[in-house]
Structure formats: C-alpha cells, structure tokens
Amino acid sequence: MADSPVPPPSGSAPQNGPRRRGVRSVDRALDVLSAFSAAHPRLQLSELADAAGVPKTSTHRIAVTLVERGFLRQEEDGAYVLGNRLLELGSLVSATTALAHLTQGVAEELIRSTGETVLIAEIDWRDRSLLITGKREAPHSPESLSPLGRRSALGNGCISRAILGGLPPEESEEIVPTLHLAQRTPASITDPAALQRELGICRRHGYAIEVGEFIPGIAGVAVPVMVAGRPAGAVAVCGHTERMSRRRLEALGTHIKYLLGRAAATLPPGSPRAG
C-alpha cells in the first residue's frame, strides 16, 4: 500500500530540476502528458493548459496531434483523457525493467497460493515516489487498494517501509525526516523516530508488516526487491485484517522472500540480477 498521491503541478510546467536543453515542442508535449494524474485523470483544455504551463493555443495544437496519434482521447464534453497508446507503451516498459524480470512469476504464484491481492511497486529515487507497476487482484480485493499505475509519495505503509528498510541505516536516517508521514488512521506511524525503529525491525526480518496503518481494516506485508544491492521496489500481499493474522503476515513475508530469492537464482545469463 502506497502513500499520498503526488500532486500535479499547477500553473507551471512540471519540473524535475533544471530544464535540460532539447526540442521545445517535445518538452511541451511531455508537459501536457505529465499534467494528468490519478487525482486529475480528465482535464478540459483550459485546465490542461494551466496544469502543463503551456499557452492555451499551443496546448490545443499539441492535444490535437496527441489525439491523432492515440496518446490522448477527447471525450464528448471536450475533456481530454490519456489514450490507449500510452497503455501499450507502458506495458512494454513494465515488462522490461529489472523489477519485472525479478517479479514476473512471483505475483502469479502469490495470488494462487494466498488468495489475497498482490501489489508490485517501483521506487523512483529522483523524486522519492512509488509507482504501482503490477497488481493481481483477489476476488474479494478491497476497492481502496492502490490501482495499477498509481503514483504516490514515499512515506508510511508497508511498501514504503520495506523499501526504506532495504537502504543502509545511515541513508534512511537522512531520508525519513524529509518524508510526509500522513495520519491516515489512528494506527498510522507519523513520528520519524518511530518509523526508524520499525525500519530496524524490517531489516532484521527482511519484510515490513502493517495492520490498519494505511487503510482501516486492511493489513499487508511487503518485501523489498533488491537490484545490484539497492531497493528497486517491493512486492506486497494485502487483505482484510480478519484473514491476515500476525502469524500469517510473518509467514507470508518469509514466503515472499523465498520466492524472490528463487526468482533471482533462476534468471537466465544477462538478465538483471538481485542482491
């Protein structure tokens, strides 16, 4: 389970540090596409121009081209939404990352053996955000669990905790005080010192457990996916607390660790390696 959604930019072009030199029209097209988010999946032209920081006339020209190429779709009321071409390309990206190579069979085995929802999240260390790149839903999966493609900020919750626990202690000690630890439920960990203590437990066991900390009535366990000695993401199993006792969560954590280790050991030569 991931943390707070990363808010979209408003009134200025999306920035990840200084703008690199490049083709301005491409920059603007990417700004238009980046204006969409889980919180803002459909935008009218004026909203799109404002969020992208691009003049309205230029936004319209870009949007027309993106619609023609399948990267955007325009609905009957004139609002723009992301197009299916992005879904096609996104599936190619998620299938070729080191994280995908290590988890492609793990999620399927977990959904079969546990009957609970499985989430795979990838960490982007540039902005410390999580992206849900894989989801296998149980028939009774709660609708409140993070949807596929959801980007959120690194914070509290078992997925964030597993990833932070995969870092060296000195690095997590620098990062944790800068995080927004939202009070989502009465059980949410919002104190950086308390989170650091939990990370120590996570490092000892190799997994992170939460019970009702992120969503009331939902428990989960997550294991970091290590690539070249650094956490690239995490695999989590989540379900209703009445089915997820502490003993079961601990057993699931051990099982996920075993499956990830086995997957890493059986990768063909030349594939991304864990560890």
pLDDT 10s digits, 176-217: 999 999 999 999 999 999 999 999 999 999 999 999 998 899
Q: Reduce the DSSP state of residue 129 to 3 states and report it.
A: strand
Give the pLDDT score at 12. Answer: 40
| DSSP for 161-188, written as a single string | HHHHHTS-HHHHHHHGGGS-----STT-
Burial class of residue 260, CB neighbours in 10 A (0-12, 13-18, 19+): buried
Q: How confident is the model at residue 275 (pLDDT cuts 50, 70, 90)?
A: very low
Pick the residue with more confidence: 38 or 166?
166
For residue range 233-273, list pLDDT tens digits in order. 999 999 999 999 999 999 999 999 999 999 888 765 444 44
Taking CA atoms, 224 is separated from 43, 88, 260, 261, in Å, by 35, 27, 9, 11
Pick the residue with more confidence: 55 or 266?
55
Task: Name the residue among 131, 174, 134, 130 with its Cα closest to residue 156.
Answer: 130
For residue range 80-136, list pLDDT tens digits in order. 999 988 877 765 555 446 677 778 789 989 999 999 999 999 999 988 999 888 888
Give the pLDDT score at 210. Answer: 95
Lowest mean pLDDT among 7-21, 42-56, 215-229: 7-21
The reply to whether the predicted model has a pTM over 0.75 is no
- CA neighbours closer than 13 Å in the CB half-sphere of residue 71: 13
